[in-house]
Structures are given as structure tokens and as C-alpha cells.
Structure 1
């Protein structure tokens, strides 16, 4: 049986949880900052990041790291179609905004305040702004009209931004409408971190 390790609040974990909604699997909710769960991560995953997927293949345990690699593994396992290059680029945009926001969120939780004049924060905010504007335009042009993996990832990002109050979404009306339109899907409500 597939085992997905993660936390209920991670946007990277949530995208895989949503994607696996109709697939039998076990979700192991980790408290990633607790000593016991950090030890488990250290044993199973040297990156010490979530999500991580465990699968028994022909009697051997296969562990897959990183949401993007997990998705690729699942598409091969279940013979799903591969992503197009356009979809790969969409994921790169989504992941870059996610990565920047995760870094700033961790720094904030470490009592390091975002200083607009510091290069690190300036670059992260610049990236997030540029990516969200591009994603807003993509939504307006219909690029996220099908409920597929990139769409799931975009939803997980926008919902996490709203949940954690990480970015002012004012003016990004297409992204906000996209969020509202998909917020009542059963797999979305079942994985809501709130």
C-alpha cells in the first residue's frame, strides 16, 4: 500500500493528497518540527523534507522524495499521461512562488522579520509578485480550466497563501475567482488545513 508522509498544512503535501483522493493510500501526518518525527524523517529521507511517498514494489520498499518526483512516480505507476512542456513550465512557476513563500514563512517563524531593503527578501517578493501576475493571466486565458495536476498545485498554492495570509492578493481577481470556484470540491474540503 502507498504511504504518504507529510503534514496537513504543507501545500506540497496537500497537492499529492488531493491527487491521491481516489487512490487507496495511508496518510501519515507528521509534526515536522517535533523531535520524534524529525528522527523518522532523518531515517527515511535524507532531505528531511515533506512530502515523501513509500511504496512496496515486489517486496522491496521504494521511497520517493519531493512532490514533483512523487507525481512523476505515480503517473508511471498508474500509466497516466505525462505532463506537457507547457504544464511543466506552469509547475515551475507554481513551485518557485511556493518555494519563496515557504522560505519567508520559515524565517518569519524563526523571528526573522522581512526587511524590504535586504536582498533576500527583495528577490523573494519580486519573484512571488511576478509569478502570481503571470498565473493570474494564465487563469484568465483558460490554462487552468481542467482539474489536472497543475491545477491542483495552483489551488494548493493559492489556498495556502490565503490560509497563512502570506501575500496581498488584491488585484489578482482571476486567481481569487479560481480559488472560490474550486473551494468546494470534495478532495479540497477533505484536505483543508483549517
Structure 2
């Protein structure tokens, strides 16, 4: 038996977990579970109605991408993505937290912008969330500076988290010119897209 990963192939949070699984060479089965429908498919798996969810071979369910990747890191020594040292681990997880928070805000911008009734759409809310995206992206670029990787001298979970966030924003907001504004983030994204794990998890379209 293999673990089951519940989620959509377009979800950046699911992609982060898929990339981690591929990098660590852990077998898994992707179960397409959408947030749409009445009730949404994922509600039968995760009471929070969110993706991803990981079902272990013994039936245990793990929720939230950050918790899942943390579990996976200890499951297989191949593809070491999180340092053992407490302080270094915190620094990597901080990158992940920033990237996930930027994604959370970007998702809210997308959902609010998609409201069918313009009267119900709050531009003030959109602007507030977009401000979070813009500030966080600028901070990430500042922290990356001229380094090759987000943390240390090699590929880590920090790069996975930042890469999936940036590439999802590009996927959903083609007019966002972050590649031009932040050449160092652009270089990182190009480097990440050369990895098999990022190629295999490209969303369709």
C-alpha cells in the first residue's frame, strides 16, 4: 500500500507536498479532491474543507501542507530538505511560513476578484490582501539577495515553498511582473524549473 495525497493538481499547497514527495522518492497516490461541489469532495476527508490532506498506510490523516512536509522529512533520509539544527530549521520554516502566507493572501485576492456580483466585491479587501503579497514578495527578494538558494548552500524546503508560491502567482495572475521587478527571484524560479520535481508537477494550461 502507498500513501494517498488528497488535493487538486492546481493547488500550490498540494504542489509543495507533491514536490517534497518526489524529491524524497516516496511513493504516493494522488487522489483528485476539489474544493467545489455540494458538498465539496474534500469535506469527506478533511473537516476543514482544505487541501492537501495526506492519508498514511494505517489510515491516519494529516492536514495542512506545513505539517505534512514536516512529517515527510522524517520519513526518509533521501533528499534532506530541513536542517537538523534547531536554529537552521527555524530559518527554513520561516521561509515556508512567509511563502505560505503570501499564497494565502493571493488566494483571497483571486476569490474576491471572482465574485460574480460586482456589488459584493470589495476593492478595499482586494487591495489589503494584495498589499500583503507585494510586501512579502519584496521581503523575500531582499532576503534572497544574491544567494543561489533561499537558505544555505543547497536546495531546501524553503526553495520549494517560495518557488511554488511564485509560480502559482504567475499562473493565476499573468500580469504580475514579479520576474521583472525581482531578477533574483526570477533566477531562482528558472533554477527550480530545471528540477524534475517541478517539471512533473506543472499545473495544466
If the length of structure 2 is used for normalisation, what is the TM-score?
Answer: 0.82
Residue 187 of structure 1: CA displacement? 1.1
Contact 1:104 1:121 in 2 (8 A): yes
Query: Is structure 2 residue 184 aligned with structure 1 residue 171?
Result: no
* Alpha-carbon distance in structure 2 between the residues aligned to 1:181 and 1:140: 15
Q: What residue in structure 2 maps to residue 94 of structure 1? A: 99
Contact 1:104 1:114 in 2 (8 A): no
Root-mean-square deviation over aligned CA pairs: 2.0
Q: What residue in structure 2 maps to residue 73 of structure 1? A: 71
| Consecutive aligned runs of 4 or more in structure 1 exceeding 4 Å deviation | 79-83
Contact 1:53 1:64 in 2 (8 A): yes
Contact 1:100 1:127 in 2 (8 A): yes
Q: What residue in structure 2 maps to residue 24 of structure 1? A: 27
Contact 1:139 1:178 in 2 (8 A): no
Structure 2 residues without counterparts, runs of 5 or longer: none
* Alpha-carbon distance in structure 2 between the residues aligned to 1:70 and 1:187: 17
Query: Is structure 2 residue 201 aligned with structure 1 residue 191?
Result: yes
Q: What residue in structure 2 maps to residue 6 of structure 1? A: 7
Identify which of 120, 127, 139 aligns with 1:122.
Answer: 127
Residue 109 of structure 1: CA displacement? 2.4
- Give the total of aligned pairs: 186
Identify which of 104, 107, 112 aligns with 1:107.
Answer: 112
Identify which of 180, 192, 195 aligns with 1:182.
Answer: 192
Contact 2:46 2:53 in 1 (8 A): yes
Aligned partner of residue 45 in structure 1, secondary structure: coil
Cα deviation 1:15-43 (Å, max 9, x = unaligned) = 1001111211101122321347x1x4222
If the length of structure 1 is used for normalisation, what is the TM-score?
Answer: 0.86
Residue 122 of structure 1: CA displacement? 2.9
Structure 1 residues without counterparts, runs of 5 or longer: none
